[in-house]
Structure 1
Amino acid sequence: MIHAYQLNGYNIILDVFSGSVHVMDEVAYDLIRLCETQSAGEAVEALLAKYAGNPEITRQELLDCLDDIEALRRAGKLYTEDVYAGKAFDFKRRNPVVKALCLHVAHTCNLNCDYCFASQGKYHGERALMSFEVGCQALEFLIAHSGSRVNLEVDFFGGEPLMNWEVVRQLVAYARSREQECNKKFRFTLTTNGVLVDDEVIDFCNREMHNVVLSLDGRREVHDRLRRTVNGKGSYDLIVPKFQEFAARRGQKNYYVRGTFTRNNLDFTNDIFHMADLGFTELSMEPVVCAPSDPYALTEADLPVLFEQYEILAREMLRREEEGRGFTFYHYMIDLKGGPCIYKRISGCGSGTEYLAVTPWGELFPCHQFVGDPAYSMGNVWDGVTSTALRDEFQLCNAYARPGCRDCWAKLYCSGGCAANAYHATGSIRGVYEYGCELFRKRIECAIMIQVAQAQRKKARKQEALV
């Protein structure tokens, strides 16, 4: 399978199963596309007809190009076969260890964001704070079920985790006290809306947190429209100076300023550029996932606009990089030379198996987006995973378990997509959230194009240095 597309002046061919990326001239691009569905002879005749007015395009040139294509095929870089499909069934036989927990230390929040999937932090239940005892048991559960894995990850999440700050501090200290004895190393992440950020929080997080996620939707008017305090006031002016100080004192690394865009700001690139102009260099912007009836929900009619926005973003990132003021966009981070192992590329985030969410009272769920749904309660941190059938279902949830992914060129980049989004869109974790797929495919096209452009620039600079 190949995926051919044109973007920003580049003719790009992605060989799906080898991961090879080729940048071609127009004739070779056309020939490769035709050869996927036609014989070599038919492709040559079709192109001779198409370029009949161009004396430089001769039969011999096309035949030479066919030889080059055949060499790529023999080298395993073009039209490669899918060698992974037959291995997907083995995933259920694996016995994965738990390597990460999302600790819901606070089912409460000091903001009242309209689009919050967690029902303003309560997850459609009662407000609650995790006790130190429950948190310790969660960490012990992780240690006990992590097998020989050394590196473990813990996300402090909510609601707003800073509303239970003292317990966060205590749990970090407890985990550190267990590392040497258990031969484990903990990496912590904190996600915060910023309202309670102060010098103490910044200093502690910059010492102990491998990563922090700072929630900001962009321009003041965009952010304040949906991210308001409980008394109805916008939170932009309150949090932005804190986030700027936070990122500066982290050395502008190991953090993300993460926003959500809705139908209210289809021009979301302007929010990304605004955040970059504020001095932030590590950025993420996610499409809202909500009920279609919500007034800010994205629609099918918005897709062409959003596709254009992603292309605008890619071109602007290249321009700013050339000017020495580049920034990172989470969804454009892609490693074309190495990247994750094939198991990871097929199975994805590991929700329900390697990754679990823990409520304030110690109940286990596949991930934070399933919390509060009784059908997806998997057990608790004392008894472990008691719903083994549910765990088995998630264990087989991969890019090859979803019929809707069968012919998709991007399946080894998204791993079949988010199980929670699929469930909420289709009622099944093996379904496909097609709207999200459309946006994901466009982002991958842009991400690959950026890599192509960077490689071309590097090549050009080397050639100039030789002159």
Structure 2
Amino acid sequence: MKNPFHIMIIPTLGCCSDCAYCWSSEEDSPIMSIQTIQDTVAWLKEYRDDPVTITFHGGEPLLAGPEFYRQALPLLSEGLAHLTPEFALQSNLWKMTDEMAEALVPYHVPIGSSIDGPREVNDPQRGTGYYEKTMRGYEIARSHGLSVRFICTFTNRSVQHREEIFDYFMEKGFPMKLHPALPSLRDDSPEEWALPPEEYGELLVYLLDRYLENLDRSEIMNINDLVRCVFTRHGTVCTYVDCMGSTYAIGPDGGIYPCYRFVGMPDFLMGYVSDNPTMEELAESKGWKLMEEYRSYVDTACGDCAHITYCRGGCPYNAIARTSGRIEGVDPHCPAYARIFDEINDRLNREMYEENPISGRSSRFRKKKVKPGILSLVQKIISN
């Protein structure tokens, strides 16, 4: 299966919030020029010929201002019309205004934002006032008809409130997408907020159970993705696929990187859009070779793992960023992935056995009323 073509445009590494576990908080970082957008269009015109999704990420991409989007979106949409581009944006929404929303509406830009639960859980780890500012931006975006979904970051502290957080998302009618807090690359105490892999694994199992108990009232996008991985035997989101050659991030200065997480890290710079590099030229860069080395490492280190075809060692950034590019292990959340993949596989096998039991034992199983399980979730995913 061919991976979707995805370009992340990073208008700035700056951010107007100062989340305790995050890596970017300087609001006055440089802003991408429109010339860089023009160079991006010129590069992508000849680079690949399949449909592309373009996500504005950061930092905080709305710091670029509405005029940036009034110019950038038509340049990308019209200049890359043969690639039928679709757009998305990841923002904390603090800078959302009517003017900004009006620049996004003609291009039907869905927005991913971040809320870690109710105010009393969110603000202690994202900063006082964060919840109010984000929800104010959310209301402005929704009033203009823009779609907004929230990512919830679980830290080693907020995970203690997992029931309260799940109930909050369900009661608000918000689909949940979750991230585990990673060790910070900018902090003297990198593990202060990080969610340990074992706790992350147990959290995923807990959320699977709560989701199945409330299948008609809730949605957890990560669980959908994980079940889809197991059912199709193929990774469907960037954490669980070989992303090289299909995903790139473009930094504020036009630098090309494997992913937005690597932007600004010199070892992972692969080229510049202004040079109009070919894939062969990008492949000669140190950043590309590091990613290829990681891919080869996964083939060996995970070769005996039952989940290798749809996990692929997890996220390369998680695995190699903290070691300055040394390939010394896979994604440290591997135990969490194994835990939830094992759980889904085991439940799926039990359910399929009970639905199609060995001859002579069917009546006892078929008359038994069962709670919604993995197969019920598969049906929901397919119907959506």
Give the TM bin, normalised by the shorter chain. Answer: 0.7 to 0.9
1:374 paired residue number:
266
RMSD, matched Cα: 3.5
Q: What corresponds to 2:62 in structure 1? A: 162
1:109 to 7, 15, 25: 15
Task: Decide which moves more: 407-416 or 206-215.
Answer: 206-215
Q: How does 1:19-58 map to 2 (within 5 A)?
A: none
State the structure with bigger RCO (CA 8 A, min sep 6), 1 or 2: 2
- 2:153 matches 1:263: no
1:234 — aligned with what?
Answer: 129
Summarize the Cα distance change of 1:131–1:449 in structure 2 as closer, same or farther, 3 Å threshold: farther
* 1:294 to partner: Cα distance: 3.3
TM-score normalised by length of structure 1: 0.64
Whether 1:412 and 2:309 are equivalent positions in the alignment is yes
Say which SS state the counterpart of residue 132 (structure 2) adopts. Answer: helix
User: 1:276 maps to what in 2?
Assistant: 170
The AA in structure 2 aligned to 1:273 is: D
Distance 1:354 1:191 in 2: 19
- CA change 1:265–1:458 in 2 (3 A) is closer
* 1:293 matched to 2:189: yes
Q: Is the 8 A contact 2:290 2:325 kept in 1?
A: no
Matched, 1:197 2:96: yes
Cα drift, residue 104 of structure 1:
1.0
How many residues of Structure 1 are paired with residues of Structure 2 in the alignment? 343
Contact 1:283 1:329 in 2 (8 A): yes
Percent identity between the two aligned chains: 20
* Alpha-carbon offset, residue 145 of structure 1: 1.0
Cα shift at 1:186: 0.5
449-458 or 107-116, larger mean C-alpha shift = 449-458
Match of 2:211 in 1: 317
| Equivalences for residues 239-254 of structure 1 within 5 A | 239-243=134-138, 246=141
Q: Which amino acid aligns with 1:325?
A: R
Letter in 1 for 2:15: C
CA distance in 2, matches of 1:290, 1:265: 15
SS in 1 for 2:55: strand
Task: Tell me the amino acid that sits aligned with residue 120 of structure 1.
Answer: S
Match of 2:318 among 421, 432, 435: 421
1:71 matched to which residue of 2? none
Shift of the 271–249 alpha-carbon distance from structure 1 to 2, 3 Å rule, reads: farther
- Alignment partner of 2:295: what SS? coil
Correspondence list, 1:343-422, <5 A: 348-351=241-244, 353-385=245-277, 386=281, 388-390=284-286, 391-395=288-292, 397-398=294-295, 401-422=298-319
Contact 1:97 1:145 in 2 (8 A): no
SS of the residue aligned with 1:382?
helix
Instruction: Pick closer, same or farther for the CA change 1:447–1:258 going to 2, 3 Å.
Output: farther
Q: Larger radius of gyration, structure 1 or 2?
A: 1
Q: Write the mapping of 1:98-177 to structure 2, written as runs, cut at 5 A.
A: 99-117=5-23, 119-120=24-25, 127-146=29-48, 148-149=49-50, 151-165=51-65, 166-177=67-78
Greater share of residues in strand: 1
CA distance, structure 2, for counterparts of residue 196 and residue 347 of structure 1: 32
| Contact 1:346/1:412, CA 8 A, preserved across alignment | no
- Matches of 2:204 and 2:152 in 1, distance apart? 15
Report if aligned partners of 1:109, 1:160 keep a CA contact under 8 Å in 2.
yes
**Change in 2 beyond 3 A, CA 1:449/1:241:** farther
Q: Summarize the Cα distance change of 1:296–1:262 in structure 2 as closer, same or farther, 3 Å threshold.
A: farther
Q: CA deviation at 1:162?
A: 0.8
Q: Do the aligned partners of 1:399 and 1:405 also contact (CA within 8 Å) in 2?
A: no
Contact persistence 2:12–2:59 (CA under 8 A):
yes
CA 1:98/1:330 → structure 2, altered by over 3 Å: closer, same or farther? closer
SS class of match (2:157) = helix
What is the CA-CA distance between 1:107 and the residue it aligns to?
2.4
Separation (CA, whole Å) in 2 of partners of 1:297 and 1:455: 32
Q: 1:284 to 1:247 in 2, by over 3 A?
A: farther
Q: Give unmatched runs, 5+ long, in structure 1.
A: 1-95, 460-467
The structure-2 alpha-carbon separation of the partners of 1:272 and 1:248, relative to structure 1 and needing over 3 Å to count, comes to farther
Per the normalisation by structure 2, the TM-score is 0.76
Could you tell me how far apart the structure 1 residues matched to 2:289 and 2:190 are? 34
